[in-house]
Amino acid sequence: MEERLEDMEMEEEDKEGTSAEDIYRVYMEEVAAIPPCTEAENARLLLEVKKGSEEARNRMIEGNLRTALLYVQEYLNHGVAMVDLIQEASMELMMLVDEGLEGSFERLLESRIRVRMEEVIKEQKTETDIEEEMLARVNVLQEVSKRMAEELGREASLKELAERMKMTEDDVREIMKVTMDALSLSEANRSLQS
C-alpha cells in the first residue's frame, strides 16, 4: 500500500498544478475498494491478532486504513507533506493493532492519529522556524562581512565579525559552515544538471 502511495506521489509530482488534495483523492479511491472493518469485526480480529494471526493483523490494518486516512484529510495543507501525514497515520494504525488495546478501536485510532498529526505539524513548524532563523543569520553575516570589508579594506577576522554581531566566535563559525554547506550543495546540483 505504501509503495503505491510513493508511486502515485512521483507520478503526481510530474504533473504541474497537482495538489495534495488530488493525490489524497486518488489514494482514497484505491483504499475505498477495501471493505472497511466494523467495530464487531475489529473486536474479533483483535482476539485473533493477540493469538498471533498475521492474516487477522493484515485485515485489521487494511480494513481500518480508510478510517485512518479520513482523519488525515483534516491536516492537509498545514505545512507537512501529504505523504508524510499518511505514513504517520498508517504507522499509528499498525502500532495500535499490534498493541491490542481493549475498547473502541475506532475511538482509540482517532485519538492516536489526531495526537500524532498535531505533533508532526508542530515538529515541522519548529524545523521551519529554525531554518528561517538560520537563513536570517546567514544574510546578516553576509551583509556585516561585506560592510566590514569595505570599512577595513580587508576581510574581517572571525573575532571581529563575532564582536560586531555580538555573537560568540563559535556561533559565527557555525553560520559560516551552514553557508559553505549550502554553497557546496548548490555547486553539486549544478554539476549534476550539466
Mean pLDDT for the stretch of residues 174-188: 68
Q: 111 and 67: one domain?
A: yes
Whether residue 110 is predicted with pLDDT greater than 90 in this model: the reply is yes
Q: 140 and 88: one domain?
A: no
For residue 75, the SS3 value is: coil
25 versus 4: the higher-pLDDT residue is 25
Q: 150 and 57: one domain?
A: no
Q: 30 and 100: one domain?
A: yes
Q: pLDDT tens digits, residue range 139-159?
A: 888 888 899 889 889 998 889
Q: 116 and 135: one domain?
A: no
Q: 92 and 151: one domain?
A: no
End residue of a domain, out of 98, 121, 144? 121
Pairwise CA distance, residues 189 & 194, whole Å: 9
Q: What domain range is 115 assigned to?
A: 2-121
* Residues 6+ away with beta carbon under 8 Å from 110: 67, 71
Whether residue 7 is predicted with pLDDT greater than 90 in this model: the reply is no
Pairwise CA distance, residues 175 & 173, whole Å: 5
End residue of a domain, out of 121, 148, 167? 121
Q: 60 and 86: one domain?
A: yes
48 versus 192: the higher-pLDDT residue is 48
Closest to 172 in 3D by CA, of 148, 154, 151, 188: 148
Q: pLDDT tens digits, residue range 66-86?
A: 999 889 888 988 889 888 999
Whether residue 111 is predicted with pLDDT greater than 90 in this model: the reply is yes
Q: 74 and 109: one domain?
A: yes
End residue of a domain, out of 121, 151, 172? 121
The mean predicted confidence, pLDDT, of the chain is: 82
Cell of 142: 553576509
Q: 115 and 41: one domain?
A: yes
CATH assignment at residue 155: 1.10.10
| Least confident span in 80-89, 123-132, 184-193 | 184-193
| Overall number of domains in the chain | 2
Q: 9 and 101: one domain?
A: yes
Q: 97 and 148: one domain?
A: no
Q: pLDDT tens digits, residue range 16-67?
A: 456 666 776 787 788 888 999 999 999 999 999 999 999 999 999 999 999 9
State the pLDDT at residue 194: 55
CB 68 within 8 A of CB 93: yes
The DSSP H or E segment spanning 104 is none
Q: 112 and 154: one domain?
A: no
State the pLDDT at residue 8: 43
**pTM exceeds 0.85:** no
